[in-house]
């Protein structure tokens, strides 16, 4: 009986090894798409964190380039025009402005093909990409640099116009 079991294991050994090889581990039997294991880490300050979105969507860590002090409305239009065929998903965080009576975006996340994400905020853009896309990111940064805003003042507090005696 023991010899029969050893004989079966000897015959099945190469088959079991081939199933456990690295080539077969890459084959994913998940028919329902990717599953986010911890949904709390995906959201930061009431909206999606683009770095966590990159890691969960593309299963890799991102290289990040940042550009500040840009006109985000012009950058938004440029991204829509330039990448209209590459954009797969757009996530947007909007607020309603009573003074202008319209909805304004606070943050927009563009998910592109080829493992690329662009996060566009009030006065910045963050570009998330893989290691093979450094040239693409540099070209996009130089395009976004054309929308630089020089004199944008941040209000740090308030001023009371009445003086108390």
Specify the pLDDT at position 165: 46
Give residue 118's pLDDT band: very low, low, confident or very high (50, 70, 90). Answer: very high
> Which of 62-76, 116-130, 151-165 has the lowest average pLDDT?
151-165
What are the structure tokens assigned to 109, written together?
């996340």
How far apart CA 109 and CA 105 sit, in angstroms, is: 11
Q: Please, are residues 90 and 110 in contact by the beta-carbon 8 Å criterion? A: yes
Q: Please, are residues 123 and 62 in contact by the beta-carbon 8 Å criterion? A: no
Is the predicted pLDDT of residue 127 greater than 70, yes or no? yes
Q: Please, are residues 162 and 100 in contact by the beta-carbon 8 Å criterion? A: no
Predicted confidence (pLDDT) per residue in 132-150, tens digit: 999 999 999 999 999 999 8
Strand partners, 93: 107
Predicted confidence (pLDDT) per residue in 4-48, tens digit: 777 766 777 776 666 655 454 444 444 445 555 555 555 556 678
Specify the pLDDT at position 31: 42
Give the mean model confidence (pLDDT) for residues 140-165. Answer: 70
How far apart CA 74 and CA 151 sit, in angstroms, is: 16
How far apart CA 68 and CA 76 sit, in angstroms, is: 14
Specify the pLDDT at position 120: 95
């Amino acid at each position: 009986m023991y010899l029969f079991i050893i004989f079966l294991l000897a015959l099945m050994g190469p088959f079991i090894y081939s199933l456990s090889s690295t080539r077969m581990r890459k084959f994913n039997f998940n028919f329902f798409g990717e599953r986010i294991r911890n949904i709390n880490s995906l959201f930061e300050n009431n909206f999606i964190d683009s770095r966590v979105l990159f890691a969960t969507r593309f299963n890799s860590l991102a290289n990040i380039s940042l550009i500040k002090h840009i006109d985000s409305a012009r950058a938004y239009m440029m991204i829509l025009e330039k990448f209209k065929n590459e954009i797969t998903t757009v996530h947007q965080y909007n607020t309603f402005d009573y003074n202008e009576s319209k909805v304004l975006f606070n943050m927009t996340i563009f998910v592109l093909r080829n493992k690329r994400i662009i996060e566009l905020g009030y006065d910045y853009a963050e570009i998330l990409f893989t290691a093979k896309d450094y040239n693409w990111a540099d070209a996009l940064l130089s395009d976004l640099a054309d929308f630089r805003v020089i004199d944008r003042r941040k209000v740090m507090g308030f001023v009371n116009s009445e003086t108390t005696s």
